[in-house]
Homo-oligomer: A and B are copies of this chain.
Amino acid sequence: MSRRLEVGRALLSRNDDAAAGLRQRFQRDGLWVINLMSSPGSGKTAWLQRTLAELQGRAAALVGDLETDLDARRLAHSGAPVRQIRTAGMCHLEAAMIEEQLEGWELPGVDYLFVENVGNLVCPVGFDLGEHLRVLMFSTPEGEDKPLKYPPAFRWADIVLLSKIDLADAVGCDVESAVANVQAVHPGVPVIRTSARSGEGMQSWLEALS
């Protein structure tokens, strides 16, 4: 086990170095970077689609997936600059992958760069991507106990989005208890209730971003 921990630490430290470089670069370019993490199917892409439309011309996105460019194609409909990162089986994004994608990407007029992480509620935690804001999304169909069962991800987040709020009744999710569970593992973290269908929560989200 100790060799594993040692390699893990070396990886994280190398990633931290790369992330520090990215942060300087984002500073220089005036980019505000948001790292968005969730389980598979929580609705990251649908929410980003609406967000990019709201921030028309001022936002770009990098999208991580094991395979396919389905998400990048969905997001490109907004007209925003979008690039897909295929991780080829890797369970999270790392700073070096972001670096590589930024190569030769000119983003004039863009203030916000959204990074949609691989759908995974465990592994992206601890991998700094040079972001300014860490956002964790979880959806009402996943159930109100998720913060208790995956606390590192919820502690890592600067903001929590409780998505698919329009489905809460249909899926039997107790929203008050979901929010209380977030507060139990990360006291004081803002929780925004969102729906990519109705647009609920968009105003609070845009305010939190700026």
Contacts and interface: CB of A to CB of B under 8 A. Distances in A.
Interface string A135-176: 000110111011011111000000000001001001100000
A11 interface: yes
Nearest to A164: B141
Contacts of A71: 149
A131 interface: no
A28 interface: no
Contacts of A119: 39, 121, 149-150
A151 B152 CA distance: 26
Given A39-B40, A40-B39, A141-B164, A149 B91 contact: no
A149 B64 CA distance: 10
A66 interface: yes
A167 B149 contact: no
Interface of A: 3-4, 7, 11, 39-41, 65-68, 70-71, 89, 91, 118-123, 138-139, 141-143, 145-146, 148-152, 164, 167, 170-171
Given A7-B7, A66-B149, A67-B150, 5 more contacts: A3-B7, A41-B143, A67-B149, A70-B148, A167-B171
